[in-house]
Amino acid sequence: MKAIGGGFIALGYALFVLLGLAGFWVCLLIIFEAAGAVGLVAAFFLGPVTFTIAPLYAGFAWHNWGPAVLIYGGAFPGAAMIAFGGWLRSRTDVISKSGDPAAELLAIRPLAEDKDEGPPRPTLEQELAATRARRPSL
């Protein structure tokens, strides 16, 4: 579980990076289209303000809300995968640290014989024999 959780966390961060770079590139294209090369240079000096406003400008001025969805909504898939991976990794606190798969499975779901709850359960053969004994004969 720990390795699978780590894989989800890695994929989540990869999504953050890829969608962040895609959003940055889209912002640069919007700024270049709206203000030209001079606006692009000014955007680097003004920093985050222009990269925050650029997708909103594209939405209101050009009626294209795709960049806003990419930039503002692009963090949700990555965050969901990171949260799910963290949850999976937290589940390994219960698992034994021996590295033995059988011990890990027992830590997740103990066998019925390991519990001291009431009388022992009958085996399958005993249950079948009791069912046959209760069945009325025709």
What is the structure's pLDDT at 104?
59
CB 104 within 8 A of CB 4: no
pLDDT for res 123? 80
Q: Which residue has the tokens 């959003």?
A: 23
Question: How far lies 127's CA from each of 42, 133, 137, 138, in Å?
Answer: 81, 10, 18, 21
Which comes out higher in pLDDT, residue 11 or 137? Answer: 11
CA distance 6 to 8: 5
Number of Cβ within 10 Å of residue 32's Cβ equals 14
* Span between the terminal Cα atoms of the chain, in Å: 53
Contacts of 58 (CB under 8 A, 6+ apart): 30, 64, 65, 66, 67, 68
The CA distance from 70 to 29, in Å, is 14
pLDDT tens, residue by residue, 42-81: 988 888 888 889 999 999 999 999 999 999 998 899 999 9
**Which whole number is the average pLDDT over 3-8?**
90
Torsion of CA 49, 54, 57, 63, to 10 degrees: -150
pLDDT tens readout for residues 76-125 = 999 999 999 998 888 755 554 556 666 655 555 555 555 556 677 778 78
